[in-house]
Amino acid sequence: MLKWGIAGTGQIARAFALALNRAENCRACGVAGRRAEKAAAFAAEHRVERAYSSVEQMCADPEIEAVYVCPPHPFHAEWARCALKQGKHVLCEKPMALGMEEIHEMQRLAREQGVLLLEGYMYRCHPQTAKLVELLKAGAVGRVRSVEGAFSFRSEFNPASRLFDPALGGGAIWDIGGYPLSMANLVAAASSGNAPVRPERLEAVGVWAENGIDLLSTALVCYPAGIVGRLTVSLTSTEDNSLRIYGEGGKIVVPDPWVCDRVNPPQGRILLTRSGEAAEVIEVPCDRTSFTLEAEYFASLAAQGKTDAVFPVMSAAETVLQNELLQEWERKAAGK
Ligand SMILES: NC(=O)c1ccc[n+]([C@@H]2O[C@H](COP(=O)([O-])OP(=O)(O)OC[C@H]3O[C@@H](n4cnc5c(N)ncnc54)[C@H](OP(=O)(O)O)[C@@H]3O)[C@@H](O)[C@H]2O)c1
């Protein structure tokens, strides 16, 4: 049983507490936030054993073995460092940090302490993603030529919300761009040898709000194997969020690639159309949410003394690539 502390009391902290309560090899031992009363109420509501009045206090508790870091993006690095310095394993929400220096520092601390540090892209732990990788590797659609993905939803502009507040890391690219980008990276890696593949080129356009955050953006990436990615994020409109992969011998459509349902275990479904044939529906049953699968996977790695994830879960090397590319996406979309 991995004994977890949750660093944050917001909406994703709630989803993760629910996930821990359903995970076989995890225990929700602690929760900490910036307000003691909120942490205490969270603990009572989500069957978490103890509440702390600060993240520092929770990280100093020798019983806590792993910390789930989930404040707004600009605070990820500081809270994760606090946990890593105390020798805790860390599952850090995406994006791991907003600056590469911070990510390198976090990874260095994790190496020094011999602990696990992973970035939380939970869809990578769902069996639907494993099935997709299996199909690509088996050449189900032949040589892959393009991948098209989006993560988008309409959210009313609210300058106080972390989604729109520049001081809280607001903007579409940093909040949700990592999904289609990491999916394109996954397709490129699965089509070669699983190791992260850096695109040769990334171009992007975007639309900015008056307060300086990006609302809507599309990036184009081109990988050395001749795979093109068309990636879209939006906070202004809900677009087609399915994943489309086109190969020389057909196409794959994944209607719900991000499997984000936090309460009901999302069932996997992949539509495979080989050229000249009718579409085949591949069901991928699942009895856990992606967050429970992520927590269980993390706990199993920690129990084995492993300090990195195995593809298709995001490894340390892929986290570096992913965040460098997010920076480039933001820069190019801003015309810099
Ligand atoms: N993997 C996923 O599917 C997924 C989904 C959603 C979000 N996330 C990630 O999780 C992180 C948190 O997102 P969320 O939607 O849970 O946010 P949220 O609901 O706004 O919660 C943020 C938490 O951080 C705390 N916090 C600490 N310092 C803060 C500060 N200076 N300003 C504002 N809040 C501060 C908040 O404290 P108070 O409670 O005291 O306000 C709250 O507990 C983000 O980095 C996001 O990328 C991941």
Q: Atom 10 (ligand 1): residue with closest C-alpha?
A: 70
Is the domain of 127 the same as that of 97? no
Q: Which of 93, 96, 165, 175 to mutate to test the pocket of ligand 1 (most atoms within 8 A of CB)?
A: 93
Question: Is residue 70 within 6 Å of ligand 1 at its C-beta?
Answer: yes
User: Is 311:296 a contact under the CB 8 Å cutoff?
Assistant: no
Is the domain of 52 the same as that of 66? yes
Domain membership of residue 99 (yes or no) is yes
Helix/strand/coil for 182: helix
Is the domain of 128 the same as that of 277? yes
Q: Which two tokens stand for residue 171?
A: 């903007």
Helix/strand/coil for 191: coil
Question: Is residue 122 within 6 Å of ligand 1 at its C-beta?
Answer: yes
Q: Atom 28 (ligand 1): residue with closest C-alpha?
A: 71
Question: Is residue 9 within 6 Å of ligand 1 at its C-beta?
Answer: yes
User: Is 199:325 a contact under the CB 8 Å cutoff?
Assistant: yes
Which atom of ligand 1 is least distant from the CA of 94? 47
Which atom of ligand 1 is least distant from the CA of 71? 24
The pLDDT of residue 52 is above 90: yes
Is the domain of 158 the same as that of 271? yes
- 193 versus 296: the higher-pLDDT residue is 296
Which atom of ligand 1 is least distant from the CA of 258? 3
Question: Is residue 72 within 6 Å of ligand 1 at its C-beta?
Answer: yes
CATH code for the domain of 278? 3.30.360.10
Segment 270-286 mean pLDDT: 97
User: Is 289:126 a contact under the CB 8 Å cutoff?
Assistant: no
Question: Is residue 38 within 6 Å of ligand 1 at its C-beta?
Answer: yes
Domain membership of residue 309 (yes or no) is no
Q: How far is the CA of 279 from the centre of ligand 1 (A)?
A: 40
The parent domain of residue 47 ranges over 2-120
Q: Domain total for the chain?
A: 2
Four-residue CA torsion sign, 212, 257, 146, 327 = positive
For residue 104, list its beta bridge partners.
none
Domain membership of residue 313 (yes or no) is no
The pLDDT of residue 336 is above 90: no
Is the domain of 111 the same as that of 180? no
Domain membership of residue 254 (yes or no) is yes
Is the domain of 112 the same as that of 256? no
Q: Atom 20 (ligand 1): residue with closest C-alpha?
A: 10
CATH code for the domain of 43? 3.40.50.720
Which of 98, 120, 142 finishes a domain? 120
Helix/strand/coil for 4: strand
pLDDT (tens digit, 9 = 90+) per residue, 230-240?
999 999 999 99
Q: Give all strands of the β-sheet with 66-69 in edge-to-edge order.
A: 50-52, 26-32, 2-7, 66-69, 89-93, 117-120
Segment 199-215 mean pLDDT: 97
Question: Is residue 171 within 6 Å of ligand 1 at its C-beta?
Answer: no
Q: Atom 7 (ligand 1): residue with closest C-alpha?
A: 12
Q: How far is the CA of 222 from the centre of ligand 1 (A)?
A: 33
Segment 77-95 mean pLDDT: 98
Domain membership of residue 305 (yes or no) is no
Domain membership of residue 57 (yes or no) is yes
Is the domain of 247 the same as that of 277? yes
Which of 120, 144, 161 finishes a domain? 120
Segment 145-157 mean pLDDT: 98
Q: Which two tokens stand for residue 112?
A: 């020094």
Q: Atom 35 (ligand 1): residue with closest C-alpha?
A: 71
Separation of alpha carbons 37 and 62, rounded Å = 23
Which of 67, 88, 120 finishes a domain? 120
Is the domain of 94 the same as that of 137? no
Is the domain of 145 the same as that of 241? yes
* Amino acid (1-letter code) at residue 278: A
Question: Is residue 120 within 6 Å of ligand 1 at its C-beta?
Answer: yes
Q: How far is the CA of 298 from the centre of ligand 1 (A)?
A: 21
Question: Is residue 73 within 6 Å of ligand 1 at its C-beta?
Answer: yes
Q: Residue 43 half-sphere exposure, CB side, CA atoms within 13 Å? A: 22
What pairing do the DSSP bridges indicate for beta strands 89-93 and 214-222? unpaired
Q: How far is the CA of 96 from the centre of ligand 1 (A)?
A: 13
Is the domain of 63 the same as that of 137? no
Q: How far is the CA of 285 from the centre of ligand 1 (A)?
A: 30
Segment 286-313 mean pLDDT: 98
The pLDDT-based confidence of 32 (bands split at 50, 70, 90) is: very high
Q: Residue 172 half-sphere exposure, CB side, CA atoms within 13 Å? A: 31
Is the domain of 188 the same as that of 230? yes
Domain membership of residue 312 (yes or no) is no
For residue 52, list its beta bridge partners.
32
Separation of alpha carbons 167 and 99, rounded Å = 14
Q: How far is the CA of 87 from the centre of ligand 1 (A)?
A: 23
Segment 53-60 mean pLDDT: 97
Is the domain of 229 the same as that of 322? yes
Domain membership of residue 307 (yes or no) is no
